[in-house]
Amino acid sequence: MTVVYVKMNRGRLQTSSEAKDQFDFAMEIAGLPEMNDERLLSSTVSNSPRLPGNRMTRSFSFLTGSGASQHSGAAMNRQITLFLGVLLFGFSGVVLADGGEKLTFNRNIRPILSKNCFACHGLDKKKRKADLRLDVAKGAFADLDGRHAIQPGNPEASEAWKRITTNDPDDIMPPPDSDKKLDAAERATIRQWIEQGAPYEQHWAFIAPVKPPVPKVMGAKNPVDAFLLDRLTREGLAFSPEARKETLIRRVTLDLTGLPPTPRDVEAFVADHSPDAWDKLVSELQSRPAYGENMARYWLDLARYADTHGLHLDNERSMWPYRDWVVRAFNQNLPFDDFTRWQLAGDLMPHPTRDERIASGFNRCNPTTSEGGSINEEFIYRYALDRTTTTVEVWMALTAGCAVCHDHKFDPLSTREYYSLYAFFNSAADPAMDGNKIDTPPILKLTTREDQARLKELDKNIAAVDEKIKKALAAVEYQDPAVQTPAPPAREVEDVWFEDGFPAGTKPRSSGAPLQLVNKADGARVFSGNVALRRQAGQGVEQDYFSGGASFPVPRRGKIFVSCYLDPKDPPQAIMVQFHVGGWKYRAIWGEEEKIPFGKPGTTQKVLMGTLPETGKWIRLEFPASKVGLKAGQKVGGYAFTQYGGIVNWDRLGVSSRVEPSKDPAWSYKIWVEKNQGKRNDLLPEGLRQLLRGKKADQWTKEEGGKIRSFWLTHVYAGNRDLLAPMEQEKAPLEKEKSDIEKKTPLTFVMADLPKPRESFVMIRGAYDKPGEKVTRAVPAVFPPLPGRPKDRDYNRLDLANWLVNGKHPLTARVMVNRIWQQMFGMGIVKSSNDFGTQGEPPSHPELLDWLAIHFMESGWDMKELVHLLVTSRAYRQTSRITPELLKRDPENRLLARASRYRLDAEELRDQALFVSGLLVPTVGGRGVNPYQPPNIWEPVAFGGSNTRFYKQGVGDDLYRRSLYTFIKRTAPPPFMSSFDAPNREQSCARRGRSDTPLQALQLMNDVQQVEAARNLAQRMLKNGGKTLDERITWAWKSVTARAPDPDELSIARNAFSQHLNRYESDEKAAVELVSYGESKRDENIKASELAAYTMVANLIMNLDEVIVRN
């Protein structure tokens, strides 16, 4: 048994009421009767610090072994010893011959020095005062002008001891203005340590774990229990009884899948008395798709995953395939070493698979900007910092960010070492400005196998047409009119928009009878070509039209023409052509204007051109484009043939204009180049576009010039249009299909390095524009080294990843094991799961942590096995009941003498509501969805031009998907997430807070998704819950809490129900309002007042403390 004694100065106790409280308290928590100081032990007398007179207030010692037997020593005057059972470290201290305990640097001394001294006497050279370093023995023992900060064994000769005990305000350490202060106990600890020879040791987290033997504890089958019980026994404690089976299945189902169990699950488990019932349950839960979804949530917090770029415009980015990969990785139980390699360096794996490349998106999840005015170098630098710091935090749980500006003050990480790590990430190929695009490169397109085959086929067919085009073009001798003398004369040209059908690639639509194209070969009336459009309208307005898929430029002084044939036997009363440029706003009408109601008469939206043309013959109608408001340069993206009644044949629609070939970019290549060089032209494909924009024509190589010219001849030159039209017609549907496939194909950001790495420097005080010393890729010296550098290349991210998981790194396995522990027990063995450094908290059970870490590696980094091991422990299955005694002794439950009880995460709360109400849509994966959100969350903060400015709430299934799939806009995260402590994913988060606020209560009571869920639960109560009120309440209670209500609870709920029913029976309107809230249809067969009352009871049950917590 480990006993801690605190000796207090009796005199002070008598005069200080504060200390008296302490004393009383300490007695009480120790559960010991108040001791007469005459009975107290003396075995530490010889070891007690010799401090001057009354200045000594407290000293202490650690004893191992039977505390009780040591109490029967001789009397010790003026000292009392208190038993403190709440001390939370695992002790393995060495008992000295005199009964005192040997202090260890990491446990006893480092926390004091780190907090009080290292800021000025630590690793950071620049801030180091008096050239004294206290974090390593060499510095502390050094001869500084004949004095020694620490003289091992001799406090009086140690300058540090003098300085921490002096009364002189000029000399005292820490200096008064530092806001730091050593108290008497800390001073005494330091004294005792110096007396014991001031042994230093490396911080525990930097010493590789060694697998400790599993303590032999009666009845502990699971090693986890053995370690925990070993400690508890020494504290005089034990595990609490097992929780009820109903509690257990809810706990484990939530912990493993993020969802509660169904009543059927509960019944089956309660009825299963086989010895391996629990084991089977855990395995079954781990095999559900929901397992991966739940595990992924925690990882996505670490990866700072979100669906927008995060800075400035905060536009959408396509990153969700990475999120889905994380889910998949957990479900497929990808070993953690590969999980690490793929995310840090999937792109560098030999012949990377698709999943490996998707996983590399981990390093692309950082927030990025495209804010005008930003300085590229600054952001390239910031992204690399983010990636470095995140990697160090996620895999090593060290606060590397400190070393960006100065040597880490507390941990052995110098600025130089930091930037050597940064050098691994500083050559990322993504641009400084994300372009506010959904697909900031480098990206990976995730084409399906079928699509891939089809694309190949399409490419082949397109290439065949291209070949034909090439041949046709080769036969044409192009002479640039701009270089001809004399220049060719101006002439009239026609650009035909409709001939033999609607443009290829468009989706023509009709109102009225189906679209009808008639053929000359069949004897139909056709004006030109082979096919015309024919419409026999019944009564009223009918039309054929398209918008989108093709566009036609309006030339200067262009004239629109169209031919029509009006049936003399059944003429229409009005005809109209309409044009679409960002909207249907340009119309010409003949005949009875008011018959066709589109557009405002007297504006260009509706221009009356005259009476109906003559019937019984083809008439060419013609009018200046400007007359209907079309301006030169505008692109017509759609047109419509409209009529009121009658039969009309339509043919050959287009625009004519007079061109001067020598000045027209559609006829002269020279002119086109002059007008377009140095500018962005979206007509050009990727590659050529940059070339045209980036360089003037005189800088193009011959090859580049050739490419652009051939593009022009194919796509711009008007003189080839007739020649190429049939081939373009052939190609258009192929290209459309190709682009449709590409459009629907998901893409995701992936990591890649520049072909030529950037040089890396220590950036002075973290300024992006102040490079200092040059650095190369390397790992901090405190860790095992990287293997020898390959001869032919530098180290890369894959080397770094391999180094993290090579089994020798002291942190990787511990950090991950601790995180899973935190997930299953509510708090890590190292509570500061994001900081294993000297400023973090030491582990409550160091041996257990090390055992688990080694076991994890020995299992092949098997994550499912690790989770299984933890939740099948006896410790996990305890009741969470908190006795007043336990609350006092171990308020944070570090010793695990009971199970922890804490509020569910944001996602779990929402998913639980959807689940118990039957609304949940369990579809796995896909682009983020927009469930209910109160109005005006995005818009009041969004940039005007952002594509995430307005929240477009989803419909149908999108409202009821698991919260994991909710679209996360970083600058305005979903309220249901942020009010319940979900991070906004701006930076990596290892541990969420667990606040408890009135805003949460408001949300759980009033949010439409909660109320709608309550109503759906109420409908299920009425439908499936039995015949009587009691049966129904019991059924709902079981669905939500996994247990039946006791009679008292049932009666409270029953009472509430009758009050609600009374009220809603007298106010049917209110009842209808309540049960109509939400998009899902209410069950009309149930009387509104009854359903409303049940809804309120469901709302009540869903707000129970027991339901909000994981119990």
CB of 215 to another protein, least distance (A): 22
Residues 453-512 that bind another protein (CB under 8 A): none
- Element (H or E) spanning 450, and its range? helix 449-475
The dihedral built from the CA positions of residue 282, 287, 288 and 292, taken in this order, carries a sign that is: positive
Both tokens assigned to 882:
């908190």
Q: Is 33 exposed, middle or buried (0-12, 13-18, 19+ CB in 10 A)?
A: exposed
Candidate list 1, 11, 14, 25; residue touching another protein; CB under 8 A? 25
Candidate list 320, 383, 395, 410; residue touching another protein; CB under 8 A? 410
Three-state SS string over 579-629 comes to: EECCCEEEEEEEECHHHCCCCCCCCCCCEEEECCCCCCCEEEEEEEHHHHC
Q: Among residues 835 and 862, whose Cβ is nearest to another protein?
A: 835
Both tokens assigned to 390:
């995140």
Per-residue contact string for residues 1061-1090; x = within reach of another protein by CB under 8 A? --x-----xxxxxxxxx-------------
Residues 173-192 that bind another protein (CB under 8 A): 179, 183, 185-186, 189
Q: Is 1029 in the site for another protein (CB under 8 A)?
A: no
Q: Is 971 in the site for another protein (CB under 8 A)?
A: yes
Q: Are 632 and 557 in contact (CB under 8 A)?
A: yes
> Applying CB under 8 A, which part among 43-51, 230-238, 291-299, 991-999 lies near another protein?
991-999
DSSP character string of 512-544: SSPP-EEEGGGT---SSSSEEEEEEEEEEEEEE
Asked if residue 486 has a cis previous peptide bond (ω within 30° of 0), the answer is: yes
Both tokens assigned to 917:
């109400």
CB of 87 to another protein, least distance (A): 4
Residues in contact with 735: Cβ distance below 8 Å, sequence separation at least 6, in sequence order: 462, 505
Number of residues that bind another protein (CB under 8 A): 132
| Dihedral angle over CA of 368, 372, 376, 378, nearest 10 | -70
CB of 887 to another protein, least distance (A): 7
Q: Among residues 232 and 972, whose Cβ is nearest to another protein?
A: 972
> Applying CB under 8 A, which part among 434-442, 469-477, 661-669, 835-843 lies near another protein?
835-843
DSSP conformation class of 181: -
Q: Are 924 and 293 in contact (CB under 8 A)?
A: yes
Rounded CA gap, 1074 and 1068, in Å? 10
Residues 1045-1064 that bind another protein (CB under 8 A): 1048-1049, 1052-1053, 1055-1056, 1059-1060, 1063
Candidate list 29, 208, 517, 723; residue touching another protein; CB under 8 A? 29
CB of 297 to another protein, least distance (A): 17
Q: Is 96 in the site for another protein (CB under 8 A)?
A: no
Q: Is 842 in the site for another protein (CB under 8 A)?
A: yes
Q: Is 115 in the site for another protein (CB under 8 A)?
A: yes
Rounded CA gap, 19 and 860, in Å? 53
Q: Is 840 in the site for another protein (CB under 8 A)?
A: yes
Residues in contact with 825: Cβ distance below 8 Å, sequence separation at least 6, in sequence order: 870, 875, 876, 896, 899, 900
Question: First CA to last CA across the chain, in angstroms?
Answer: 31
Residues 614-653 that bind another protein (CB under 8 A): none
Rounded CA gap, 651 and 209, in Å? 83
Beta pairing partners, 608: 589
Residues 872-911 that bind another protein (CB under 8 A): 880-884, 887-888, 891-892, 901-903
Residues 75-94 that bind another protein (CB under 8 A): 84, 86-89
Residues 512-551 that bind another protein (CB under 8 A): none
DSSP conformation class of 1085: T
Rounded CA gap, 448 and 354, in Å? 11
Residues in contact with 472: Cβ distance below 8 Å, sequence separation at least 6, in sequence order: 723, 724, 727
Helix ranges restricted to H, 745-874 = 797-804, 812-825, 846-858, 863-871
Angle at 18 between CA 16 and CA 22, to 5 degrees: 115
Residues 579-608 that bind another protein (CB under 8 A): none
Residues in contact with 440: Cβ distance below 8 Å, sequence separation at least 6, in sequence order: 309, 317, 368, 430, 431, 434, 749
CB of 374 to another protein, least distance (A): 5
Angle at 334 between CA 911 and CA 860, to 5 degrees: 130
- Size of the chain, expressed as the number of residues it contains: 1111
Candidate list 987, 1030, 1079, 1083; residue touching another protein; CB under 8 A? 987
- Closest among 52, 152, 44 to 100, alpha carbons compared: 44
Rounded CA gap, 100 and 94, in Å? 9
Residues 754-773 that bind another protein (CB under 8 A): 769
Q: Among residues 131 and 769, whose Cβ is nearest to another protein?
A: 769
CB of 716 to another protein, least distance (A): 30
CB of 849 to another protein, least distance (A): 15
Candidate list 37, 567, 660, 986; residue touching another protein; CB under 8 A? 986
Residues 351-380 that bind another protein (CB under 8 A): 367, 369, 371-376
Q: Is 203 in the site for another protein (CB under 8 A)?
A: no
DSSP three-state, residue 955: coil
Q: Among residues 6 and 248, whose Cβ is nearest to another protein?
A: 6
Q: Is 95 in the site for another protein (CB under 8 A)?
A: no
Candidate list 229, 290, 302, 313; residue touching another protein; CB under 8 A? 313
Candidate list 205, 290, 327, 402; residue touching another protein; CB under 8 A? 402
Q: Among residues 867 and 895, whose Cβ is nearest to another protein?
A: 895
> Applying CB under 8 A, which part among 148-156, 400-408, 586-594, 644-652 lies near another protein?
400-408
CB of 103 to another protein, least distance (A): 9
Per-residue contact string for residues 50-79; x = within reach of another protein by CB under 8 A? --------x-x-------------------
Q: Among residues 408 and 580, whose Cβ is nearest to another protein?
A: 408
Candidate list 22, 262, 573, 729; residue touching another protein; CB under 8 A? 22
Residues 813-832 that bind another protein (CB under 8 A): 831
Q: Among residues 667 and 1064, whose Cβ is nearest to another protein?
A: 1064
Q: Among residues 573 and 978, whose Cβ is nearest to another protein?
A: 978
> Applying CB under 8 A, which part among 43-51, 196-204, 306-314, 752-760 lies near another protein?
306-314
Rounded CA gap, 1099 and 1083, in Å? 17
Residues 1089-1108 that bind another protein (CB under 8 A): 1092, 1096, 1099-1100, 1103-1106, 1108
Give CA separation, 17 vs 13, 83, 891, in Å: 7, 19, 24
Q: Among residues 817 and 977, whose Cβ is nearest to another protein?
A: 977
Q: Is 24 in the site for another protein (CB under 8 A)?
A: yes
Calculate the CA 222 to chain-centre distance. Answer: 35
Helix ranges restricted to H, 660-811 = 669-676, 688-694, 702-715, 721-744, 797-804
Q: Among residues 758 and 1054, whose Cβ is nearest to another protein?
A: 1054
Q: Is 34 in the site for another protein (CB under 8 A)?
A: no
Rounded CA gap, 1014 and 1095, in Å? 5
Q: Is 1007 in the site for another protein (CB under 8 A)?
A: yes
> Applying CB under 8 A, which part among 196-204, 354-362, 423-431, 1006-1014 lies near another protein?
1006-1014
- Element (H or E) spanning 174, and its range? none
Q: Among residues 649 and 988, whose Cβ is nearest to another protein?
A: 988
Candidate list 1008, 1044, 1079, 1087; residue touching another protein; CB under 8 A? 1008
Residues 929-958 that bind another protein (CB under 8 A): 934-936, 940-944, 946
DSSP conformation class of 492: E
